[in-house]
Structure 1
Amino acid sequence: MIFTAENEREPGFVHVLLITTGSVASIKAPLIVRELLGYQKVKVEVVATKPSLAFYTKSDISNAGSRVWTDDDEWTGNFNIGDPILHIELRRWADVVLVAPCSANTLSKIAHGACDNLVTSLMRALAPTTPTYIFPAMNTLMYEHPLTAEHMRIVRDVVRYNIVGPIGKHLACGDVGVGAMTEWRDIVKIVVELFHLAHKSQE
């Protein structure tokens, strides 16, 4: 399937790009999609790293009302000069980008400017005017590692993305501490407040 911003953007709609990475918190992606689509004039597309699909399936997202794009959709082996390039089309499409969850690995890649998959290529190609929110999620000791603080500093102060969280709770690995992704309803709330969305129940 060929995705182009020109064909997929709908006037008057808010276009939300949800990116999931290799953290167990990716299991919340279908909930985020379903909740966002409960608001008027919202479209959602999901971009997934391969590790994040250990925690949900493409059918989970399609059942919630959206689609998942992966590395396999980027370069199919049939590219011709002038054809749409997926990571460019997706960034043109997006009004807001949510990296939820952002694993330690992807955080490091963003901070260092890596472009080794669909997600990181898309992030590197984003316009600085696109509101972008990073929701870190990792084990407490990974979060407390000195490199994590440096990566977050670069992402916040140099790249100028908004970093929200992580929060403290009982983690999936069994540890208790800071490192969990911001609650998924609070992630949705950020978009609702940013664009002053009205729920479909208010139609």
Structure 2
Amino acid sequence: MGTTRRFVASEKRRPGHTHALLVTTGSVASIKAPLIVRELLKYENVEVEIVSTKAALTFFEKSDIEELGRHVWTDDDEWDIPRLRALQPDYKIGDPILHIELRRWADIVLVAPCSANTLAKISQGLCDNVVTSLMRALSPSTPTYIFPAMNTLMYEHPLTAEHLRVVKDVIKYNVVGPIGKALACGDIGIGAMSEWKDIVQIVVDRFQLQLSPGLEGGQE
């Protein structure tokens, strides 16, 4: 809901457009969020929304997204505590709830990056922030992609394998990556998020998107 912003899927969805929802969580790979958004917006008839955990915002500035004409939705937008406490007369059953409106809006969901913490929460069905509430509320028919990103030993932890099994085999999400490379912590091994251009390409291929006239592919 939020004190200054209101998101209603029926008002935001545009006929003939692809609606891509980018979810960022507490991994350093969230630094790639502005690149993903900028690249997606180069394609015709594409709309992008971004929803982030508090930890994700350690790695990029909201202003980097706002410069692209988009808002970063967070817990602050989901729960307007003063308004709820005051029980203002204009609050009523049926008013828009952010995580529900976002899932109604989305044609595809990209959790990029998906930290070990958020992966564990999703696999167990926890709903303690706007991101995990959104994930729990998603329709099974919404194409959803999980891009794990974590330290190699976190990825190799036996619980991670179980969480990924649940996400893939029970919830039926698509899991892509992680990949091997030098990690932000200095370790070398598997655990890095898939390349951001490859993430964009998944959306492009699935919806057969075309670049807007005069535009070329993204930049590193």
Cα separation, 2, equivalents of 1:5 and 1:82: 13
Counterpart contact for 1:37–1:65, Cα < 8 Å: no
For 2:161, the equivalent position in structure 1 comes to 149
For 1:130, the equivalent position in structure 2 comes to 142
Give per-residue Cα distances to partners, 1:61-120, cap 9 Å, x unaligned: 111332100001001132522210000000000000000000000000000000000000
Cα separation, 2, equivalents of 1:82 and 1:114: 24
Aligned equivalent of 1:196, options 208, 211, 215: 208
For 1:166, the equivalent position in structure 2 comes to 178
Give per-residue Cα distances to partners, 1:37-66, cap 9 Å, x unaligned: 000000000000000000001111111332
Say how many residue pairs are matched. 203
Aligned equivalent of 1:110, options 122, 135, 146: 122
Cα separation, 1, equivalents of 2:136 and 2:180: 29
Return 5+ residue gaps in structure 1 as ranges. Answer: none
For 2:218, the equivalent position in structure 1 comes to none
- Name the % identity: 70
Q: Secondary structure at the match of 2:203?
A: helix
Cα separation, 2, equivalents of 1:65 and 1:177: 36
Structure ID, larger Rg: 2
1:10 and 2:22 correspond: no
Q: Could you tell me which amino acid in structure 1 is paired with residue 163 of structure 2?
A: H
Q: Could you tell me which amino acid in structure 1 is paired with residue 208 of structure 2?
A: H
Give per-residue Cα distances to partners, 1:131-159, cap 9 Å, x unaligned: 00000000000000000000000000000
Return 5+ residue gaps in structure 2 as ranges. Answer: 85-90, 216-220
Q: Secondary structure at the match of 1:172?
A: coil
Q: Secondary structure at the match of 1:201?
A: coil
**Aligned structure 1 segments of 4 or more residues deviating by more than 3 angstroms:** none
Q: Could you tell me which amino acid in structure 2 is paired with residue 158 of structure 1?
A: V
Q: Could you tell me which amino acid in structure 1 is paired with residue 60 of structure 2?
A: Y
For 2:47, the equivalent position in structure 1 comes to 43
